[in-house]
């Protein structure tokens, strides 16, 4: 199977439009978003964000999140915290 077919199948099964393009998942029981990213040449599905959580309400909340998850955010695109920081806290 070609790389393009594997990529297409993965994106289709998760329901996203492309690599590194996060999508809301309102029907997922726990997580609010999903993204497919490439890590070390392999595709990885990352689910992140708490369903129904109120985020980015004020600067104090933003600062607390970034402080609490700083180590995981520093791991880069392979981390759910990095995606939550980018999508939900900017």
pLDDT reported for residue 10? 81
pTM of the complete model: 0.88
pLDDT reported for residue 1? 62
Question: Would you state the structure tokens that stand for residue 3, as one six-digit string?
Answer: 């790389």
* DSSP secondary structure of 33-72: EEEEEEETTEEEEEEEEETT---S-SHHHHHHHHHHTHHH
pLDDT reported for residue 13? 85
Sheet with 23-24, edge to edge strand ranges: 23-24, 31-39, 42-50
Please return the burial class of 2, using the count of CB atoms within 10 Å of its CB with bins 0-12, 13-18 and 19+. Answer: exposed
Q: What confidence tens digit (pLDDT) does each residue in 26-79 have?
A: 999 999 999 999 998 889 999 999 999 888 889 999 999 999 999 999 999 999
pLDDT reported for residue 4? 74
């Amino acid at each position: 199977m070609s790389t393009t077919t594997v990529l297409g199948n993965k994106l289709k099964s998760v329901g996203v439009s492309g690599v590194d393009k996060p999508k809301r998942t309102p029907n997922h029981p726990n997580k609010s978003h999903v993204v497919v990213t490439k890590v070390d040449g392999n595709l990885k599905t990352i689910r992140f964000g708490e369903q129904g959580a109120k985020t980015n309400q004020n600067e104090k909340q933003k600062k607390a999140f970034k402080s609490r998850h700083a180590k995981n955010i520093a791991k880069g695109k392979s981390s759910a915290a990095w995606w939550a920081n980018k999508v939900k806290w900017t």
